[in-house]
């Protein structure tokens, strides 16, 4: 972590030091100084991951709710739904789980001493092997947290000029390039003007990154950087929080117009909310914020997301194994800026609630075009709101909420012209029929516990672009005619979707993602209508699929997921179809529960375009996989989870471009072939035997000797301490 190496080492020392009882360590500092960044660095440290198998991150925030905090902790220990417990039962359950295990608990952004005191009631002081790490802007929280513990609060300092300049350079130039000599003087001046505040440096650095992209001519860049320095010099003196907001303001003004609404819209999510990339990009599209400019809407939206990340206005939370953004977050101070500016521009309105009193009042809802909620819906709807101008209704909550039917029907009644309806946090018992009356809908997400049918009236939503339904059901009959939903681009369910082969209609050409289709519904009509599919998932009896027509006409299909969802005592699939069965441009393939023999992997090796292959839950079975004669020409990522493989043979040419290998629950595998290590950058292992671990360490030693980038990441069931990147 640039600028905080000594701070990180000191906190790590506290965390790893054994005490006579449970210890709590506080990181105290003003907003934007880097408390959460430092805490996350500790939380994600590989030595910490090894020493603390159970690590729990809880964002407390100003809206402290003990039930939410305790339920968040319990999720780390059990998959059971604990939301039905009363407060006393909940407290006892958390205490019981924490007393049995060695854990690291991070309580991020604690606002009040009394909030910490409530949390402390469930912490077992006798669990001397465990640690609690607290971040807070208030020294009073640190003072009360040290009572009964050992470690003094750690007051996070400001960065000095040298550290500020080092951080600014890393933001602008990365680790691959050096700063132009002509820019060193003005660069150090800008770094000094940020007064040692990490967030200010990062945000101002985002402005400089944008200028660096536009031109790399040193004398032109110096003039542009002089302008930035002049603007930064005007920041409010002696008020660090205002300085940060002014830095965000400066960065906001530098945004192209097409990014400004996208940026401000991020504040519809709660503080520190983990935001899936697919969700925010689909919302931007539905809201009309995305201009394709010769690309697909999805490509343009994803580029917008990348642009905001590169300007350091959004933080990447997780990336997939190919390095693409999977989830992101917004710093709470940047979110406050977005929220305030969005309200000024009437982009959206957050409805706040305190003891049944709403701000703004329910009577004023009719003034707004977009509403977002993070609080109590039943009380809100009991006041019978009416919003004839409301176009978007978004409800986000940490846990799914059960509402009475009378409240569920209130939403379409109150807001008849909705385009966006985000209700994934509300549990429905059945499909809300009145939703089908909202004919202007472009985006809708629902959570329906048990769902057997998507009703025919859903076909009336001809403006709908994105439909996402979470459910526990394994199979759903689609009565709604998707060929009449002409603008539908994304249909996402985990259940198998059974289509009616008798449907008429001329739609389907806009469909980009269809997940998950029942194999018996994969017919000529489907691939003729949905000819532009990019992502397809199928769930059910795959023997039906493999005996049908091929997918070679789906020339745009890049991602395919096949889940063989049949009873465990069913006959295994006899074979894979020939490689020409698969789409010609297939890049990512996932197989699950297919129980194929390893010899059929040679068929997959013939798919020249394949970059990512994931094999899950006995996709292949048998003790030996001889891949020595196979060549996976372009495969970059290989994931094998839950396989009974014992021996794995490869040649140096078998996986020429493999950069990432993930092996989990392969507990019979004797060794990991050394020949795989040629291009490998990441090796992730979990629940494998010691001989395989030893071979992983051998690959690591060779990589270290070669001084190339490599990471060995070990999870549960691995008995050797992991090492860092080098």
Q: Mind giving me the DSSP string for 691-703?
A: HHHHHHHHHHHHH
- Average of pLDDT values for 135-141? 88
Reported as type and span, the H/E element at residue 42 is helix 35-43
How much is the pLDDT for 3?
A: 63
Give the model's confidence band at 425: pLDDT under 50 very low, under 70 low, under 90 confident, else very high: confident
Cross-strand partners of 386: none
Maximum Cα–Cα distance across the chain: 74
Compare 78 and 292 and report the one with higher pLDDT.
Answer: 292
Asked if the bond preceding 360 is cis, omega within 30° of 0, the reply is yes
What tokens were used for 45?
A: 């440290």
57-71, 226-240, 353-367, 649-663 — which one is most confidently predicted on average? 649-663
Dihedral of CA atoms 506, 509, 513, 517 in degrees, nearest 10, equals 40
Number of H helices and E strands in the chain, helices first, is 23, 32
What tokens were used for 639?
A: 């994931």
Residue in the structure block whose two tokens are 């209609």 = 505
Question: Does 20 score more than 90 pLDDT?
Answer: no
Residue 488 burial class via C-beta count within 10 angstroms: exposed 0-12, middle 13-18, buried 19 and up:
buried
What tokens were used for 5?
A: 């190496």
- Average of pLDDT values for 257-272? 94
Give percent of the chain with pLDDT exceeding 70: 97
Cross-strand partners of 135: 27
257-265 and 332-344 helices, crossing angle to 10°: 110
Q: How many residues does the chain have?
A: 726
State the alpha helices, DSSP H only, in 577-689.
Answer: 601-605
Query: What is the rounded average pLDDT for all residues in the chain?
Result: 88
Cross-strand partners of 490: 466, 513
Residue 84 burial class via C-beta count within 10 angstroms: exposed 0-12, middle 13-18, buried 19 and up:
exposed
Question: Does 720 score more than 80 pLDDT?
Answer: no
- Average of pLDDT values for 157-168? 91
How much is the pLDDT for 399?
A: 67
Buried b (16+ CB within 10 A) or exposed e, 570-599: eeebeebbeeebbbeebbbbbbbbbbbbbe
Q: Tell me how far apart the alpha carbons of residues 580 and 603 are, in angstroms, rounded to a whole number.
A: 9
Residue 501 burial class via C-beta count within 10 angstroms: exposed 0-12, middle 13-18, buried 19 and up:
exposed
Give the model's confidence band at 721: pLDDT under 50 very low, under 70 low, under 90 confident, else very high: very low
Task: State pLDDT tens for residues 302-357.
Answer: 999 999 999 989 989 889 988 899 999 998 889 999 999 999 999 999 988 776 77
Q: Are strands 54-59 and 103-108 parallel, antiparallel or unpaired?
A: parallel
How much is the pLDDT for 717?
A: 55
Question: Does 22 score more than 80 pLDDT?
Answer: yes
Give the model's confidence band at 618: pLDDT under 50 very low, under 70 low, under 90 confident, else very high: very high
Q: Do residues 127 and 23 touch, judged by C-beta distance below 8 A?
A: no
Q: Tell me how far apart the alpha carbons of residues 675 and 679 are, in angstroms, rounded to a whole number.
A: 10
Q: All domains of the chain, ordered by start, with CATH? A: 5-155 (3.40.50.300), 161-253 (no CATH), 257-338 (1.10.10)
3-state SS record for 327-365:
EEECCHHHHHHHHHHHHHCCCCEEEEEECCEEECCHHHH
Nearest in space to 507 (alpha carbons), one of 492, 532, 529: 529
Question: Does 611 score more than 90 pLDDT?
Answer: yes
Question: Does 722 score more than 60 pLDDT?
Answer: no
Q: Tell me how far apart the alpha carbons of residues 53 and 101 are, in angstroms, rounded to a whole number.
A: 9
What tokens were used for 543?
A: 């023997």
Gyration radius from the chain CA atoms: 27
Q: Tell me how far apart the alpha carbons of residues 720 and 612 are, in angstroms, rounded to a whole number.
A: 28
């Amino acid at each position: 972590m640039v600028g905080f190496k000594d701070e990180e080492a000191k906190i790590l020392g506290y965390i790893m030091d054994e005490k006579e009882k449970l210890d709590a360590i506080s990181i105290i500092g003003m907003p934007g100084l880097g408390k959460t960044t430092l805490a996350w660095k500790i939380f994600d440290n590989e030595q910490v991951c090894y020493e603390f198998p159970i690590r729990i991150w809880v964002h407390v925030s100003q809206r402290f709710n003990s039930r939410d905090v305790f339920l968040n902790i319990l999720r780390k220990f059990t998959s059971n739904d604990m939301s039905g417990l009363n407060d006393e039962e909940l407290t006892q359950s958390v205490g019981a789980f924490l007393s049995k295990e060695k854990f690291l608990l991070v309580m991020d952004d604690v606002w009040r001493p009394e909030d910490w005191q409530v949390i402390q009631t469930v912490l077992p002081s006798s669990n001397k092997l465990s640690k609690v790490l607290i971040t807070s802007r208030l020294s009073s929280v640190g003072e009360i947290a040290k009572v009964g513990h050992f470690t003094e609060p750690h007051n996070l300092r400001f960065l000095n000029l040298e550290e500020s300049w080092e951080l600014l350079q890393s933001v602008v130039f990365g680790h691959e390039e050096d700063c132009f000599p002509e820019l060193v003087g003005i660069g150090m001046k800008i770094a000094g003007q940020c007064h040692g505040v990490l967030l200010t440096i990062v945000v101002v650095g985002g402005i400089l990154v944008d200028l660096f992209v536009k031109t790399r001519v040193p004398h032109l860049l110096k003039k542009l950087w002089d302008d930035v320095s002049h603007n930064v010099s005007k920041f409010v003196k002696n008020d660090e929080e205002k300085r940060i907001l002014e830095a965000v303001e400066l960065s906001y003004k530098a945004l192209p117009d097409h990014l400004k609404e996208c940026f401000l819209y991020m504040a519809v999510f709660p503080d520190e909310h983990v935001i899936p990339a697919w969700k925010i990009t689909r919302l931007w599209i539905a809201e009309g914020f995305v201009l394709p400019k010769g690309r697909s809407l999805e490509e343009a939206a994803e580029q917008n997301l990348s642009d905001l990340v590169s300007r350091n206005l959004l933080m990447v939370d997780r990336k997939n194994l190919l390095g693409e953004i999977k989830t992101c977050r917004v710093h709470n101070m940047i979110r406050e800026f977005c929220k305030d500016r969005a309200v000024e521009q009437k982009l959206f309105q957050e409805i706040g609630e305190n003891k049944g009193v709403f701000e703004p009042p329910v009577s004023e809802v009719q003034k707004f075009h977009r509403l977002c909620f993070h609080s109590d819906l039943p009380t809100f709807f009991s006041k019978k709101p009416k919003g004839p101008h409301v176009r978007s209704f978004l409800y986000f909550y940490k846990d799914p909420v059960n509402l009475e039917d009378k409240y569920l029907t209130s939403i379409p009644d109150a807001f008849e012209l909705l385009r966006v309806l985000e209700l994934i946090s509300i549990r429905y018992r059945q499909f809300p029929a009145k939703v089908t009356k909202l004919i202007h809908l472009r985006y809708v997400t629902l959570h329906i516990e048990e769902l057997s049918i998507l009703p025919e009236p859903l076909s009336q939503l001809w403006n709908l672009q994105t439909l996402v339904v979470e459910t526990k059901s394994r199979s759903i009959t689609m009565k709604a005619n998707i060929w009449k939903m002409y603008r539908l681009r994304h249909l996402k369910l985990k259940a198998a979707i059974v289509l009616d082969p008798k449907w008429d209609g001329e739609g389907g050409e806009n469909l980009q993602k269809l997940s998950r289709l029942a194999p018996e519904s994969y017919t000529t009509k489907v691939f003729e209508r949905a000819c532009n599919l990019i992502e397809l998932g199928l769930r059910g009896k795959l023997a039906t699929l493999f005996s049908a027509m091929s997918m070679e006409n789906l020339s745009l299909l890049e991602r395919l997921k096949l889940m063989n969802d049949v009873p465990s005592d069913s006959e295994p699939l006899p074979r894979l179809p020939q490689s020409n069965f698969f789409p010609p441009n297939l890049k990512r393939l996932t197989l699950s529960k297919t129980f194929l023999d390893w010899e059929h992997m040679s068929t997959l090796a013939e798919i020249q375009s394949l970059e990512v292959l994931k094999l899950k839950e006995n996709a292949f079975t048998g003790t030996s996989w001889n891949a020595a004669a196979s060549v996976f020409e372009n495969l970059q990522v290989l994931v094998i989870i839950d396989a009974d493989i014992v021996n794995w043979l490869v040649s140096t040419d078998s996986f020429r471009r493999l950069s990432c290998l993930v092996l989990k629950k392969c507990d019979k595998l004797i060794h990991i072939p050394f020949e795989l290590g040629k291009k490998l950058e990441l090796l992730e292992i979990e629940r494998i035997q010691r001989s395989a671990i030893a071979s992983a360490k051998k690959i690591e030693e060779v990589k270290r000797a070669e001084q190339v980038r490599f990471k060995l990441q070990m999870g549960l069931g691995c008995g050797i301490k992991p090492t860092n990147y080098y």
